[in-house]
Amino acid sequence: MTTSPIPSGHALYVGDVGHARFLPKTHRLDYPILYAWLDLALPIPDFGWRFGEGGCRAFSFRRRDYFKGKGAADLRQQVLATATSLGAETQQIDGVYLLTPLANWGLYFSPLTQYYLCQQGEPRYLLAEVSNTPWNERHHYLVPLNAGSSHFSHAKNFHVSPFNPLDMHYHWRVDGPAEQFNLSITNTRGGDKVFAAWFSLQRQAFTEANLRALLIRFPWQNVQIVIRIYWQALKLLAKGLPFYGHATPRIQPHDDDIKPDRHPG
């Protein structure tokens, strides 16, 4: 798969998110999703109550929602510093982009926030900011990227779902970012595929007209996501899935230890 260089500027991505569980029992869900793609070198547009920086708007960008506890630092510089600490070579990075569901009427919730580090319009790294429920902790993974389709795997280092243990491996597949943007993460344990999550998104222009139309489709997106997560948790408990208590995060190896994965499942 080949792609054109990543366009500069802000954009919207609309599509679907899905989860599938394969072991010890099967379970599946999917739902529509809206993300903002923000160029962190550019100012945040202001569309009044529909979108802007801060405040309780339909959708808003709030610096405090990213890198918990480090809200005073410039977000672009924080992304570069964190990626560097995980082994990224960032000297030639000239584009940093945020893929986020945004705060919605003052509520921010994102199990996976993504920062894309690019060089001359081509993706070089994905810095993934993972949060867990109900502990509301944050952890960062660094995934090297190629132009087109990228496959990588590494040990799971952070407890996310109480229905998945820590001794697992993540297998990433990233197709994009481009007009069509697909990403999947497969969890394996002892070589067996246990769980997978993915999204499939289509790019739209970041205009007030598009945002107005999408607000009709996604009026309470974050509230709905939180309700879905807890409702699905109740269903998993009813199915008798084992419950794993909170585990201390591990240190992620540098990218020299992140292995190409030709069969991500």
SS3 73: coil
- What pLDDT score was predicted for residue 5? 59
Question: Can you spell out the DSSP letters for 84-144?
Answer: HHTT---TT--EEEEEE--BBTTB---SEEEEEEEETTEEEEEEEEEE-TTT--EEEEEEE
- What pLDDT score was predicted for residue 68? 83
Instruction: Per-residue pLDDT tens, the chain, 265 aa: give them.
Output: 444 557 679 999 999 999 999 999 999 999 999 999 999 999 999 999 999 999 899 999 999 999 987 766 899 999 999 999 999 999 999 999 999 999 999 999 999 999 999 999 899 999 999 988 777 789 999 999 988 899 999 999 998 888 989 999 999 999 978 899 999 999 999 999 999 999 999 999 999 999 999 999 999 999 998 898 889 989 999 999 988 887 776 665 543 333 444 333 3
Given a contact cutoff of 8 angstroms between Cβ atoms, the answer to whether 139 and 127 are in contact is no
SS3 72: coil
- The residue type at 28: R
Structure-block tokens of residue 13: 């991505």
What is the phi/psi pair of residue 91, to 5°?
Answer: -60, -35
- What pLDDT score was predicted for residue 247? 74
- What pLDDT score was predicted for residue 160? 87
